Amino acid sequence: MHPVDYAAQTLRGVLDRIPVLDHAKIDDVLIGCSLPEKQLGWNTARLIVNRAGLPDTVPAQTINRFCSSGLQCIASAANAIIAGEMDVVVAGGVEDMTHCFAPFPEEYMNPWFHENYEGGYMPMGETAERVADKYGITREMMDEFSVESHARALKARTDGFLADSIIPVTNENGVLVTEDEGIRGDTSVQSLAGLKAVFREGGRVTAGNSSQTTDAAAVAVVMEAAVAESLGLKPIARFCCHAVTGCDPTIMGMGPVYAIPKVLEKCRLSLDDFDVIELNEAFASQAIACIETLDLPRDKVNPYGGAIALGHPMGATGVFLTIKALDYLKRTGGRYALVSMCIGGGMGAAGVFELL
């Protein structure tokens, strides 16, 4: 299925939930995409707007900050509103891992990096192996973490906790897709133990303890409070703050260890203030290392499962995690959500949201 099609269906499905919003009043559409090439080339954000049938007057831009592209779109949308430049911004993300995700071709690499900066083009799987080396994460720990991610996701789906924020998409065969396809209820430590390491001979990182390569899109509408009130809309949540930071790219999975303290300082909050923490599970090794290093309460981290079970459509992940977190707050009556992820190339991002 062409990614512009499922992204456009997602965009339209979200906007259909806000019938009072005049689409001509949308100031901009920001779409995150980590691999804006092939099927997602040619400013895919604008193509998605066109395909969704929005007025030609609605502009769009594609934003790439790798794994935090979607969260960056939310932050950029909020900042434009805070600055008084815009009132209504759509913030979303899309990824087509099936067609666009592949090793970066050697001939496109800048040769300086091979001699001077080891992490510049390092495959993400190798960085996950290095995190496991540095922080003493065993294969068994990673596989156990993965089984728990699937179990939590399966329970959340069975209990109906994932359904509210899913926009059904009709695929190219006319089949209506209404559930995430990556959850494996029969996953066990024994079955995962039989998988071979993918990125290093004798390594620990496998397809079973890594995030899934997923095709997906996610969309949120960010609006100035007074405008929402004028339309008779009750906002779901308030964007509080956002932070990004850099780190050693050879252990890029540790990005949240630096981004989370930075965003907490900006918001003047502590980890105890949060009711839910969505930490992207790029790899089990880095998720475990981040949880242990920051001493995150495990029961608050990814209560509906993470990317190992639900997938990591890189450009959309930040929006997806935010929506999951807000759904959890709505169900449990919580107040604050923390969303964070590592970023390819050695960065971390984190965002804070308050349920209203």
348: domain CATH number? 3.40.47.10
CB of 57 closer than 8 Å to CB of 39 = no
Q: What is the pLDDT of residue 203?
A: 96
Following CA atoms 296, 239, 35, 304 in sequence, which dihedral angle do they give, to the nearest 10 degrees? 40
Q: Catalytic residue numbers? A: 67, 312, 342
Band of residue 235 on the pLDDT scale cut at 50, 70, 90: very high
Mean pLDDT taken over the chain? 97
Band of residue 255 on the pLDDT scale cut at 50, 70, 90: very high
Domain range for 291: 237-355
Tokens of 305: 């499962």
Residue 313 lies in a domain: yes
Q: What is the arithmetic mean of pLDDT over 224-232?
A: 98
Q: What is the pLDDT of residue 137?
A: 98
Residue 102 lies in a domain: no
Torsional sign, CA 220, 225, 230, 234: positive
Q: What is the pLDDT of residue 158?
A: 97
Q: What is the pLDDT of residue 280?
A: 98
pLDDT tens digits, one per residue of 287-325 = 999 999 999 999 999 999 999 999 999 999 999 999 999
pLDDT tens digits, one per residue of 155-178 = 999 999 999 999 999 999 999 999
Q: What is the pLDDT of residue 92?
A: 98
Residue 209 lies in a domain: no
Phi, psi of 133 (to 5 degrees): -60, -50
Q: What is the pLDDT of residue 65?
A: 98
Q: What is the arithmetic mean of pLDDT over 40-58?
A: 98
pLDDT tens digits, one per residue of 105-142 = 999 999 999 999 999 999 999 999 999 999 999 999 99
Q: What is the arithmetic mean of pLDDT over 68-84?
A: 98
**319-6-256 Cα angle (round to 5):** 20
Q: How far is CA 49 from CA 12, 22, 30, 42, 45, in A?
A: 9, 14, 10, 13, 6
Band of residue 93 on the pLDDT scale cut at 50, 70, 90: very high
Separation between Cα atoms, residue 29 and residue 14, nearest integer Å:
13
Residue 350 lies in a domain: yes
Residue 347 lies in a domain: yes
Q: Give the three-state DSSP class for 318.
A: helix
Band of residue 350 on the pLDDT scale cut at 50, 70, 90: very high
Residue 285 lies in a domain: yes
Band of residue 216 on the pLDDT scale cut at 50, 70, 90: very high
Residue 10 lies in a domain: no
Residue 243 lies in a domain: yes
Paired with 92 in beta bridges are: 31, 219
Q: How many domains does the chain have?
A: 1
